[in-house]
Amino acid sequence: FTGHRLAELAAFVPWLHEDHHVLQFDFRGHGESGPGWVTLGGFERRDVAAAVAFLRSRGLGPLALFGVSMGATIAIIAAPELSVAAVVADAPFAELHHPIGNRMREVGYPLPGLGSRAIVVAAALRTRSRLPDAIRHVARVAPRALLVIAPKEDQLISWRQGLRLFEAAAEPKELLVVDGAAHAEAYAVDPETYRRRVTEFLARHLG
């Protein structure tokens, strides 16, 4: 969310590219992409579908989706409708109101639980889109493989959101909980374990 593909994900590309082609893109309303409503999955799943179609048109595959935070959640939401083999979801949220409520709580807004749900409804009406919750889609990721990465000290998206997604998902699925990691910092805290788990997961499901 609000990131740029060349900054936010730069640390992942060199080691992923050792064994795989890597396509990075900015969601609508982000980075170098054109303007557009940010709906945290409602419209962005179409951006993912376009990226997959782009790769398929060049004969590339099998494919995996790899996202962090908002990108992780969107990957889970988009995957059931796409011809992909695997999903790596780092710090995803199961329900959209959860990170909104945590942010409201952080800055001192009253009634963050009720307020966050009201914001989700208002945003859906404003953008004329459905703002989907990943928990409603994760069971349909299978038979695609799913790796959920949950930073244990995440104050924006509780690691238990990742745990809920993992528990609701069907096999094949894997979970990596990274102790001492804040939001989107799992790789920075334990790069050796992170890289090993991701590369082994992709090797099993992509070849």
Closest residue by Cα to residue 146 from 130, 159, 162: 162
Average of per-residue pLDDT values in the chain: 87
- The whole-number pLDDT of residue 97 equals 62
Residue 120 has pLDDT above 60, yes or no: no
Mean pLDDT (whole number) for 43-68:
94
pLDDT at residue 9 in the model: 80
Residue range 7-29: mean pLDDT, rounded? 88
pLDDT at 32: 74
154 phi and psi, to 5 degrees?
A: -65, 120
Q: What's the confidence (pLDDT) of residue 207?
A: 78
Could you count the other beta carbons within 10 Å of the beta carbon of residue 137? 21
The predicted-structure confidence for 80-119, as pLDDT tens digits, reads as follows 999 999 999 999 999 876 676 667 677 777 767 666 566 6
Rounded CA separation 41/46 (Å): 9
The residue that leads in pLDDT, 114 or 69, is 69
Please tell me which residue, 168 or 130, carries the higher pLDDT value.
168
Collapse the DSSP code of 173 into the 3-class scheme (helix H, G, I; strand E, B; otherwise coil) and give the result: strand
User: What is the DSSP secondary-structure string of 36-99?
Assistant: ----TTTTHHHHHHHHHHHHHTTT--S-EEEEETHHHHHHHHHGGGS--SEEEEES--SSTHHH
| CA 158 to chain CA mean position, Å | 14
Contact by Cβ (8 Å): 204, 145: yes
Helix pair 44-56, 70-78: axis angle to 10 deg: 70
C-alpha to C-alpha distance for 109 and 112, rounded to whole angstroms:
6
